[in-house]
């Protein structure tokens, strides 16, 4: 299990803007950037008690074009830090003209 702060410290080594869930609306952010957010945790429960929660995170890479080098950099960074991941989806937003690449860890 990885904590928010530890994950952030790992992701900022990518040298692109990184934020939890979103950037402040008054902050101008250049593309590419990465946001991460907590998703539904897995819990271990027994006898009407929750003993442990395993937090999962979704990473969202936003780019203007297909950025294979950044995707491989993210995947290598996760592997190097022994963080298991799944690449979930790649979505083209035609209205905003950007790609969204999603990973779950």
The pTM score is 0.86
**Segment 60-80 mean pLDDT:** 97
Q: Are 84 and 105 in contact (CB under 8 A)?
A: yes
Instruction: Say if residues 74 and 33 touch (Cβ distance below 8 Å).
Output: no
The pLDDT value given to residue 75: 97
Kindly report the CATH class assigned to 4-104. alpha beta
| Token pair in block for residue 2 | 């990885």
The domain locations on the chain are 4-104
Separation of alpha carbons 73 and 94, rounded Å:
25
Per the model's pLDDT, the better-predicted residue between 47 and 54 turns out to be 47
Each residue's pLDDT tens digit, 3-52: 889 999 999 999 999 999 999 887 789 999 999 999 877 777 888 888 77
Residue with tokens 């250049």: 30
| Tens-place pLDDT, residues 88-102 | 999 999 999 999 999
């Amino acid at each position: 299990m990885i904590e928010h702060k530890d994950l952030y410290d790992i992701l900022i080594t990518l040298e692109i803007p990184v934020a939890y869930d979103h950037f402040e609306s008054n902050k101008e952010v250049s593309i590419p950037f990465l946001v991460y957010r907590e998703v539904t945790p897995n819990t271990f429960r027994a006898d009407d008690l929750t003993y442990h929660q395993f937090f999962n995170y979704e990473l969202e890479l936003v780019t203007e074009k297909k950025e294979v080098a950044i995707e491989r950099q993210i995947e290598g960074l996760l592997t190097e830090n022994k963080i298991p991941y799944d690449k979930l989806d790649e979505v083209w937003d035609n209205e905003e003209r950007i790609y969204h690449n999603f990973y779950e860890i």
